[in-house]
Structure 1
Amino acid sequence: MTDDAYLFLLADTDASLGVPPTAVGELSCMDTPAVRAWLDAQGVAATSPRLRVLPPEETGAIPEHAERLPVPLSDEELNLLRHRTVPEAAARAEEELMAYRDRTDDRDALIGRALAAGVPPHRIVELTGVDPATVTTAAAG
């Protein structure tokens, strides 16, 4: 397995392997001289329906004969790419997990604000479902 995602060209646009880079959004690698030169050498535009991208863990599925180019993606770009390559039900579950992560990222700050506003610790435990020790830790932090 490689640490790079891969751009590659499908022989058949009906194949469902990978996703078009445009479906992921503005990938920073698409503006690099290496990618532009590769696209020019292949005679395809960045918007070609034959152009696809796969995350590192799935690059083994690229057909052996397919033209390919390794491209580094940022963590955010990789997350978006992985999100676009999973079935719709899994994508919805991933969105819920990311929303949960985003809500819990500043959990201690939120608990601290609630305590400062006068919400008693036992009420924070009731409302959030967090362990009482978590409230105590957040209050100290």
Structure 2
Amino acid sequence: MTDDAYLFLLDNPAARLGVPPAAVGGLACMETPAVRAWLDAQGSTPTAPELRLLPPEETGAVPEGAERLPVPLSDEELSRVRQRSGPEALARIEEELLSYRDCADGRDGLIGRALAAGVAPHRIAELTGEDPATVTAAAGV
């Protein structure tokens, strides 16, 4: 495995491998002299349908013999590539997991506020889907 993502050219632009860099938006590497020279040498452009990008953990999927170029990505760029490179369902579920994490971080505080406002523990459990024991433990009751 490498630490770099890979730009590569597909023989069949209809293949569902990788993500077109234009679909990710604003990648700093696309403006570098190395990438521009590589695209020129390949007779391609940053918006060509056959140009794709894969994150480091998926670079083994680059077809053998495909023209490829390793490119560094920032953490934020890499996150966007990962969200777009998998099947749409995978990207959606990852977004849901991120949302859940954000909500779960404040779970205990929310439960405490609900109890302080007079919401019964069993009702909190019904509304949140949490186990009643979890509600009680989170509230410190």
Q: Which bin holds the TM-score, normalised by the shorter protein?
A: 0.7 to 0.9
The 5-angstrom pairing of residues 120-139 of structure 1 reads: none
CA distance in structure 2 between the partners assigned to 1:102 and 1:32 by the alignment: 35
CA shift at 1:108, angstroms?
A: 8.6
Matched residue, 2:98: 98
- Segments of structure 2 that go 5 or more residues without pairing to the other structure are 115-126, 131-141
Matched residue, 1:11: 11
Shift of the 110–65 alpha-carbon distance from structure 1 to 2, 3 Å rule, reads same
The 5-angstrom pairing of residues 1-141 of structure 1 reads: 1-104=1-104
CA distance in structure 1 between the partners assigned to 2:108 and 2:33 by the alignment: 44
Amino acid in the other structure paired with 1:57? E
CA shift at 1:109, angstroms?
A: 8.8
CA shift at 1:48, angstroms?
A: 0.2
* Cα deviation digits, residues 46-74 of structure 1 (max 9, x gap): 00001000011111111121110000111
Amino acid in the other structure paired with 1:19? V
Shift of the 70–109 alpha-carbon distance from structure 1 to 2, 3 Å rule, reads farther
CA distance in structure 2 between the partners assigned to 1:88 and 1:19 by the alignment: 11
Amino acid in the other structure paired with 2:74? S
SS of the residue corresponding to residue 100 of structure 2 reads: helix
How high is the TM-score relative to the length of structure 1? 0.73
- Segments of structure 1 that go 5 or more residues without pairing to the other structure are 115-126, 131-141
SS of the residue corresponding to residue 45 of structure 1 reads: coil
How high is the TM-score relative to the length of structure 2? 0.73
Q: How many residues align?
A: 140
Matched residue, 1:118: none
